[in-house]
Structure 1
């Protein structure tokens, strides 16, 4: 359960003064020696504060071990749309969940409950993000492009933290602005790896059922959704954008509602839903580091490649230049 961390972080982030430094200070109040950093990332429309945390495992790379590393990434445009909208917006749920997971894992570590593998947590904090048109409801925009955030979380920028390579990624994102996810709570996507949409992981289904106490909920992806932003194609949202920049398997953990809710809506954060979402992600991190949770079947993917070849070109802009380099 991460309700305590969610409540404390929500109070911290629901402010026009929300910042990476404030979030970092909160995490260091839990573990003074935590391996965490924050820094500004500047894009065409402004800047945001990146925040990255690595929680070492008992047998992770940080201590010279061989347990796999999982990334928990909080995806969003921004925490707020000030001055247009006052308060914490629905789009901020991904950052809130990711930071609450980091806080819980740090608290567990301080108490002596360490996971086998390293866990890398990353998101960004921007209380003054722009809005963007989208159907059926408006989205939150971002002061930085998806490619820039990808670089910091799963690309060359992540390598500089020592967290690279990530062996699997859970990308958590508010995914309420649609009419195909008609349940409150969280849903998981099929696994995406190097341009291939693979079957939904049985292990993740089991963990989702245990975390929620309900039948697991999954959602469909189109080919568009796993291609990079900026190519002019319709995307469900940014939840699978990390899959365009890494060879690691990526699963989107979508925070959902029964009806379409704009990303720029305030008063639309449901902490009990986020508690289930974050609890699921922590359980996955435990199992993945212990080698008891598979995101995909390597033999099956090998057979796919032998018959159909690589789909990695879907991680690129393809045959045409980007229509919007700042998306």
Structure 2
């Protein structure tokens, strides 16, 4: 699997990185891959979507989203930035699952993987360290990355620019569904322990972290923005650091940590698509909504925005 991390890093670290380079790599394993270029006044990016077909069309489908502003911030910074983690992991997952399938290890259900590739994204101010900007806004990202066929979503995002989670590696978030922040999935904690050989690590979320960008409140980052665009349960996989690292910082893609995150997502795909893992307790969720009603308004910009 480490070779797939290296391959993904090599592709995305190029100054000419784009969706076509990613598609060429994925089509080596026979994966149908769609590339869509979106241009704005801030620049352009290539959205990449691919599907690793499963054996059973009725089995659950997992969505994997590599969330980021851009893989690099040229010309201000040379080489891949910390923010590239989401794209690196998403591409490595696609390459690994594609190779597995080509060799005969076919997952039960489909895995739909999406990210975008921008080698010259802008940066933007944020406290405590600068964020990576993007030539497109989060609603555009959601439109091109969140798929209604995804029965559950894993959103991978570099989450190093904060003082909330101060350890190296990766952490998973509580499950977010339709505005509800639910308990951390026991199934996913089991997978994290199994795939890393370490105690699980979780990321603290606040209510405002799961609301859409554009409402003028602080967000830890964009890791849960996909949850604003789907009714499916979403779990964030956050690559983390001990000290705050800006999203536009170079030399901060810790490949061994990305390997662990990739392994976790691959194992989640195996277990979820064959019904061994769940993202939330449906009975408990129904109980919460019967007691307190819908929290769907938190998926919107709110009143007066």
Question: Which whole-Å CA distance do the structure 2 matches of 1:205 and 1:320 have between them?
Answer: 39
Question: Which whole-Å CA distance do the structure 2 matches of 1:43 and 1:170 have between them?
Answer: 27
Q: Secondary structure at the match of 2:245?
A: coil
Post-superposition, which runs of at least 4 consecutive aligned residues in structure 1 deviate over 2 A?
Answer: none
1:267-278 matches, cutoff 5 A: 267-278=251-262
Question: Which whole-Å CA distance do the structure 2 matches of 1:252 and 1:205 have between them?
Answer: 13
1:8 Cα deviation after fit: 1.4
TM-score, normalising length from structure 1? 0.92
Question: Which whole-Å CA distance do the structure 2 matches of 1:212 and 1:263 have between them?
Answer: 25
Residue 75 (1) aligns with residue 67 (2): yes
Q: Please tell me whether the aligned partners of residues 189 and 252 of structure 1 are also in contact (alpha carbons under 8 angstroms).
A: yes
Residue 34 (1) aligns with residue 31 (2): yes
Q: Secondary structure at the match of 2:128?
A: coil
Aligned residue in 1 for 2:132:
140
Q: Secondary structure at the match of 1:47?
A: strand
Question: Which whole-Å CA distance do the structure 2 matches of 1:42 and 1:240 have between them?
Answer: 24
Q: Secondary structure at the match of 1:135?
A: coil
Question: Which whole-Å CA distance do the structure 2 matches of 1:305 and 1:43 have between them?
Answer: 40
Q: How many residues align?
A: 305
Residue 196 (1) aligns with residue 180 (2): yes
Residue among 91, 100, 106 paired with 2:98: 106
Q: Please tell me whether the aligned partners of residues 172 and 203 of structure 2 are also in contact (alpha carbons under 8 angstroms).
A: yes
> CA offsets per residue over residues 108-128 of structure 1, 9 Å max, x none?
000000000100000000000
Residue 8 (1) aligns with residue 23 (2): no
Residue among 155, 166, 177 paired with 1:171: 155
Q: Secondary structure at the match of 1:122?
A: strand
Residue 120 (1) aligns with residue 112 (2): yes
Gaps of 5+ in 2: none
1:44 Cα deviation after fit: 4.5
1:165 Cα deviation after fit: 2.0
Q: Please tell me whether the aligned partners of residues 233 and 280 of structure 2 are also in contact (alpha carbons under 8 angstroms).
A: yes
TM-score, normalising length from structure 2? 0.98
Q: Please tell me whether the aligned partners of residues 165 and 204 of structure 2 are also in contact (alpha carbons under 8 angstroms).
A: no
Cα RMSD for the two superposed structures: 0.9
Question: Which whole-Å CA distance do the structure 2 matches of 1:275 and 1:175 have between them?
Answer: 16
1:47 Cα deviation after fit: 1.4
Aligned residue in 2 for 1:51:
48
Residue 225 (1) aligns with residue 222 (2): no
Gaps of 5+ in 1: 60-64, 159-163, 322-327
